[in-house]
């Protein structure tokens, strides 16, 4: 079914995605003749693919170009002059001068015979089959001219088949299996299976989970999982098998229910920072399914359970579609017209500024919204409110990346594209859990690990990546939370003192004074792994081996996540990572680099767009008059030269009574930001909180104005992923709330401007906003919607010097000129375990849920994770008399909550771990307000806690839930 191609037209973004049967190769050119036509293809290409390049589609069933050739279906047989027999074109590589015939009488007969055998064990229910019109078996039966099947089952029964539940006498067919519909999103119907192995190979080659197999042999062969059904198996529901299946055997439930789609639009997933391209396949304005787009350069046709299936939130009944207002947060919400809500909000904001000063209000931009929307929100505060009080959720995730990489390399972004990992020889993953947080990237990484690349994981927890099937050498540095800097420095110490650094690279590319200072610093014996072992918990020998593996292993790449940044020394660790890459010469070419794995779909973009209080778009400081001038000329206003407030400062100022109004777009700071009680106190102290979101999120409990948001399916725009790739987001349905989010921001701006007498904004399409971004921001100078239409996507910088964008950064030199080594002194966090709080809590995410869960909790993904649990080591559990599944009380110096315990040796003794997907757990009640020294990024990853048995939810949780319920009331319409 997955050959299904809807004819494309302009504006849908779809480019040629013919299935060429086998993957592209990159050898020297070879010329051959197929059916009398000459073609030149790279050596290693299959005859099947070469034929496809000529427009000749050789019939096939087991081949598809996302998988290596398998040669089992025998349908793609061809004749080659001078060779005996009829070789399979998928497994036969091209040779110079080869003369191939794809259609002869012999082949026709052969293919018809093969097809007849397939169909003899397949039900002939095409008209009522869910794959009708989208089935490769059906297509091939047509292509080979199958007109009948001679192997009909005797009426009395006797001929075995897999598709009839009972024979004509009503006896049960032991070969028949009922449908497995345990997975919420797709079904497995063995009766339709032709055992082509495509699903098994997709699970292995594309996804790398190895959850599927062929059970039995010969006639008994069938696709099976390693457990009683799909849901109980290792399957992670990425959809690769469903995508690969040529029949209805593995089929999306949405297609079974709705039928085949009739149009298709390319867009970008709105979950994580990988930024996968998808085709939204539609019937009218109804979404039938999301299918990973083969030409998507971030995902190369792969997907994960969130992007592929978890889109149901967009039409969930909880979505708020009408604007609402209230005077105080203890009142119920009142649904009003857009005009009334906007004027209510505008009057309040203007009134606050008159009463408390120009700087008493601000905005929070969203990493979930588009570049264009984010640009407008920061413009709102800078150009309309007249201050720089803008911040974004990147504050709480990757702000140290911006600072750390900016200081060392000169720019705040990952250095590579995702394709680069295919050329890495040793990959260091620090404080990231890619299989859960960035699953599509993890699949690409795992593929490389199966090919022999070495893995080094620096993480307190034994993450799934360390259990990659068929992986080679792996090192796990299971450090104590909070000691990243000590570990990174110790790795640097080993590299420097054992002479494993790249002198040539350093001499050519780096600032030598800084290097000499750093070298002296890092060579000090106090950084030796033997010295730091007691502190970090990483055995010296393990660390030395890992350091040597990284320095000597060839192309070394570093990928890191929030386990690096969300610490009191987050920025220091980022700089330490940059030091490691520079000292080993692992910057500026394919297969190497330093790559932050960005948490959210557009966190890179929201940073690029000037969301920070001290930076205008393009990371240029607001103090610089020449930068302000560009925007002042464009916007026709004067820009405040003083940086504004960061999120934590806004909340502090609110508690102090000087910050009074907030426009918060697409972010739930109450649940996602640390020290929930403090956030709640800050919000409660404000007089006008405007929440612009899909749902009444936790922050909205303290809001006075609610502006309904639009989902990513309902708007035009762009997202920028972790590899700086600007991808188009396309509108596939009208906004259910009436306006796209950029329009709402414009309406709010204009409502305020009406009060203040300013000139109204007049954008009519996000393309105009992008044009303004390009005109004002050098790294985006070459970006426009026509370019994106033509190229699919570009990676910034995209300008005159790099008209096609920039897949690799720092190729000939660092952006800042010379790479700068920075001394990274380890300073222990003030958050320490002690007698009252003897354990260290660290937090993270899991595959099926996304961040605060506002979206994924409103999908079937909750079957995999319906509550947050606390992972605790068996030793610590036993000391406390805890059993698996018990309610436990989790307390820190900030607060306490209750959740269930899961006993596992994934975490080390002394460390506990939980996720923050569920508001009724509120893991952030526990976290403290310690933060990164440079950027205020909160220290989510280290909190000293105590765990004890409990009977159920804490008083605080119950009070909180009561307040939340109270505050979500909506007044009945009259």
Nearer to other proteins, 162 or 941 (CB): 162
Query: Where in 154-213 is the site for other proteins (CB under 8 A)?
Result: 209-213
Looking only at residues 205 through 224 of this chain, which bind other proteins when binding is defined by CB under 8 A? 209-217, 224
Distance between CA atoms of residues 138 and 492, nearest Å: 60
Residues from 341 through 400 that contact other proteins (CB under 8 A): none
> If binding is defined by CB under 8 A, does position 866 make contact with other proteins?
no
3-state secondary structure of 611: coil
> Which residue lies nearer to other proteins by CB, 470 or 883?
470
Q: Judged by CB under 8 A, does residue 226 bind other proteins?
A: yes
Q: Report the residue number, 471 or 912, with the smaller CB distance to other proteins.
A: 471
Tell me how far, at minimum, the Cβ of 469 lies from other proteins, in Å.
Answer: 5
d(CA 499, CA 821): 17
Q: Are strands 556-560 and 426-430 parallel, antiparallel or unpaired?
A: parallel
Q: Which is nearer to other proteins, 223 or 733 (CB)?
A: 223
Instruction: Closer to other proteins by CB, 209 or 892: give it.
Output: 209
Instruction: Give the shortest CB-220-to-other proteins separation in angstroms.
Output: 8
- Collapsed DSSP state (helix, strand, coil) of residue 6: coil
Stretch of 137-145, 146-154, 226-234, 426-434 lying at the interface with other proteins (CB under 8 A):
226-234
Residue among 230 and 739 whose Cβ is closer to other proteins:
230
What's the chain's length in residues? Answer: 974
141 vs 242, which CB is nearer to other proteins?
Answer: 242
To other proteins, the closest distance from the beta carbon of 921 in angstroms equals 30
232 vs 827, beta carbon nearer other proteins? 232
Strands 29-34 and 99-101: parallel
* Shortest distance in whole angstroms from residue 228 CB to other proteins: 11
Q: Which of 24/232 has CB closer to other proteins? A: 232
Segment interacting with other proteins (CB under 8 A) among 8-16, 227-235, 367-375, 392-400 = 227-235
DSSP result, 726-740: EEEE---S--TTSS-
* Position among 17, 234, 755, 860 found at the interface with other proteins (CB under 8 A): 234
Looking only at residues 448 through 477 of this chain, which bind other proteins when binding is defined by CB under 8 A?
468-471
Burial class of 762 by CB neighbour count within 10 A (0 to 12, 13 to 18, 19+): exposed
Closest CA to 770 of 407, 239, 374, 495: 374
Residue from 48, 63, 88, 225 that binds other proteins (CB under 8 A)? Answer: 225
Strand pairing of 793-795 and 725-729?
antiparallel
Determine contact, residues 78/100, Cβ cutoff 8 Å.
yes
How near is the Cβ of 226 to other proteins at its closest, in Å? 3
CB 106 within 8 A of CB 79: yes
Number of residues that bind other proteins (CB under 8 A): 19
CB of 217 to other proteins, least distance (A): 5
User: Which residue number, 227 or 624, has a Cβ lying nearer to other proteins?
Assistant: 227
> Closest CB to other proteins among 216 and 885?
216
Q: In the set 159, 227, 512, 811, which binds other proteins (CB under 8 A)?
A: 227
> Nearest approach, Cβ of 434 to other proteins (angstroms)?
18
Long-range CB pairs of 518-523 (<8 Å, 24+ gap) are 518/579, 518/821, 518/822, 518/823, 519/821, 521/823, 521/825, 522/489, 522/492, 522/493, 522/496, 522/579, 523/493, 523/496, 523/497
Q: What is the DSSP letter of 154?
A: P
Smallest gap from Cβ 876 to other proteins, in A, equals: 23
Q: What residue spans of 482-611 are helical by DSSP H?
A: 484-497, 503-509, 512-523, 529-536, 540-552, 562-565, 570-583, 603-608
Q: Which is nearer to other proteins, 29 or 226 (CB)?
A: 226
What whole-number distance in Å separates Cα of residue 578 and Cα of residue 568?
Answer: 18
Q: Tell me which of 57, 86, 233, 484 binds other proteins, using CB under 8 A.
A: 233
Asked whether position 113 contacts other proteins by CB under 8 A, the answer is no
Q: Which of 808, 301, 819 is nearest to 557 (CA)?
A: 808
Instruction: Work out how close the CB of 230 gets to other proteins at its nearest, in angstroms, rounded to a whole number.
Output: 11
Angle formed at CA 719 by CA 270 and CA 386, multiple of 5 degrees: 110
Percent of the chain that is helix, strand, coil (3-state, to 5) = 35, 15, 50
Q: How far is the CB of 905 from other proteins (least distance, A)?
A: 13
* Least Å from the CB of residue 466 to other proteins: 11
Q: Find the shortest distance in angstroms from Cβ 251 to other proteins.
A: 20
Residues that bind other proteins (CB under 8 A): 209-217, 224-227, 233-234, 468-471
């Amino acid at each position: 079914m997955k050959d299904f191609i809807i004819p494309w037209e302009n504006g849908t973004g779809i480019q040629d995605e013919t299935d060429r049967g086998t993957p592209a190769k990159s050898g020297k050119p070879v010329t051959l003749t197929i059916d009398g036509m000459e073609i030149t293809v790279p050596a290693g290409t299959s005859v099947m693919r070469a034929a496809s390049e000529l427009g000749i589609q050789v019939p096939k069933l087991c081949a598809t170009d996302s998988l290596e050739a398998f040669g089992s279906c025998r349908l793609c047989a061809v004749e080659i002059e001078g060779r005996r027999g009829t070789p399979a074109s998928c497994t036969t590589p091209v040779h110079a001068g080869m003369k191939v015939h794809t259609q002869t009488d012999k082949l026709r007969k052969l293919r018809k015979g093969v097809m007849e055998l397939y169909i003899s064990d397949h039900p002939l229910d095409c008209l009522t089959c869910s794959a009708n019109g989208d089935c490769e078996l059906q297509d091939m039966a047509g292509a080979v001219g199958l007109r009948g099947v001679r192997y009909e089952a005797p009426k009395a029964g006797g001929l075995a088949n897999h598709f009839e539940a009972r024979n004509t006498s009503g006896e049960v067919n032991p070969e028949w299996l009922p449908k497995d519909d345990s997975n919420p999103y797709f079904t497995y119907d063995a009766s339709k299976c032709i055992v082509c192995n495509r699903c098994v190979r997709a699970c292995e080659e594309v996804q790398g989970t190895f959850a599927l197999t062929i059970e039995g042999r010969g006639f008994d062969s069938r696709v099976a999982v390693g457990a009683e059904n799909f849901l109980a198996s290792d399957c992670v529901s990425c959809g690769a098998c469903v995508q690969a299946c040529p029949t209805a055997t593995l089929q999306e439930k949405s297609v079974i229910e709705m039928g085949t789609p009739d149009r298709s639009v390319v867009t970008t997933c709105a979950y994580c920072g990988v930024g996968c391209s998808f085709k939204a396949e539609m019937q009218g304005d109804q979404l039938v399914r999301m299918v990973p787009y083969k030409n998507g350069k971030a995902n190369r046709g792969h997907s994960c359970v969130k992007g592929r299936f978890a889109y149901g939130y967009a039409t969930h009944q909880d979505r708020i579609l009408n604007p609402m207002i209230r005077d105080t947060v203890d009142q119920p919400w009142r649904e009003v017209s857009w005009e009334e809500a906007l004027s209510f909000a505008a009057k309040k904001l203007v009134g606050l500024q008159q009463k408390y000063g120009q700087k008493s209000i601000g905005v929070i931009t969203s990493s979930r919204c588009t570049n264009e929307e984010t640009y407008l929100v920061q413009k709102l505060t800078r150009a309309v409110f007249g201050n720089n009080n803008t911040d974004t959720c990147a504050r709480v995730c990757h702000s140290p990346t911006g600072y750390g990489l900016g200081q060392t390399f000169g720019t705040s972004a990952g250095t590579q594209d995702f394709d680069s990992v295919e050329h890495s020889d040793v990959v260091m993953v620090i404080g990231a859990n890619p299989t859960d947080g960035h699953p599509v990237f993890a699949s690409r990484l795992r593929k490389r690990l199966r090919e022999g690349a070495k893995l080094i994981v620096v993480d307190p927890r034994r993450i799934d990546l360390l259990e990659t099937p068929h992986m080679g050498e792996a090192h796990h540095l299971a450090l104590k939370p909070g000691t990243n800097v000590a570990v990174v420095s110790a790795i640097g110490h080993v590299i420097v003192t054992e002479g494993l650094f790249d002198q040539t690279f350093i001499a050519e590319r780096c600032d030598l004074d800084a290097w000499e200072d750093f070298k002296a610093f890092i060579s000090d014996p106090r950084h030796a792994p033997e010295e730091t072992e007691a502190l970090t918990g990483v055995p010296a020998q393990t660390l030395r081996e890992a350091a040597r593996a990284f320095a000597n292993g060839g192309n070394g790449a570093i990928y890191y996540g929030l386990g690096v940044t969300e610490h009191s020394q987050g920025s220091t660790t980022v700089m330490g990572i940059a030091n490691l890459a520079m000292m080993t010469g692992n910057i500026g070419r394919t297969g190497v680099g330093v790559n932050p794995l960005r948490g959210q779909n557009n966190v890179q973009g929201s940073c690029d767009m000037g969301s920070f209080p001290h930076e205008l778009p393009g990371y240029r400081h607001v103090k610089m008059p020449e930068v302000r001038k560009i925007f002042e000329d464009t916007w026709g206003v004067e820009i405040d030269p003083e940086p504004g407030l960061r999120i934590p400062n806004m909340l502090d100022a609110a508690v102090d009574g000087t910050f009074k109004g907030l426009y918060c777009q697409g972010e739930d700071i109450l649940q996602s930001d640390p020290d929930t009680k403090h956030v709640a106190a800050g919000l409660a102290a404000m007089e006008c909180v405007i929440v612009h979101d899909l749902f009444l999120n936790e922050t909205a409990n303290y809001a006075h104005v609610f502006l309904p948001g639009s989902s990513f399916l309902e708007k035009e725009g762009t997202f920028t992923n972790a590899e700086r790739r600007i991808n188009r987001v396309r509108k596939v349905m009208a906004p259910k709330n009436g306006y796209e989010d950029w329009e709402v921001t414009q309406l709010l701006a204009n409502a305020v401007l009406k009060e203040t007498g300013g000139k109204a904004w007049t954008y009519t399409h996000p393309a105009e906003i992008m044009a303004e971004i390009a005109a004002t921001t050098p790294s985006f100078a070459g970006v426009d919607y026509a370019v994106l239409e033509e190229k699919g996507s570009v990676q910034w910088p995209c300008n005159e010097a790099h008209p096609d964008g920039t897949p690799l950064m720092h190729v000939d030199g660092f952006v800042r000129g010379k790479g700068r080594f920075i001394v990274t002194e380890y300073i222990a966090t003030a958050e320490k375990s002690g007698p009252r709080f003897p354990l260290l809590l660290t937090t993270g995410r899991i595959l099926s849920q996304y961040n605060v869960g506002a979206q994924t909790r409103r999908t079937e993904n909750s079957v995999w994770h319906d509550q947050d649990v606390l992972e605790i080591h068996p030793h610590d559990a036993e000391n406390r008399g805890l059993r698996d599944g018990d309610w436990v009380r989790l307390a820190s110096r900030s607060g306490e909550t209750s959740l269930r315990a899961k006993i596992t040796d994934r975490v080390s003794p002394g460390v506990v771990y939980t996720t923050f997907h569920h508001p009724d757990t509120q893991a952030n009640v526990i976290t403290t307000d310690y933060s990164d020294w440079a950027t205020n990024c909160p220290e989510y990853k280290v909190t000293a806690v105590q765990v004890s048995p409990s009977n159920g939810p804490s008083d605080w949780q119950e009070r909180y839930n009561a307040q939340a319920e109270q505050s979500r009331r909506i007044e009945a319409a009259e």
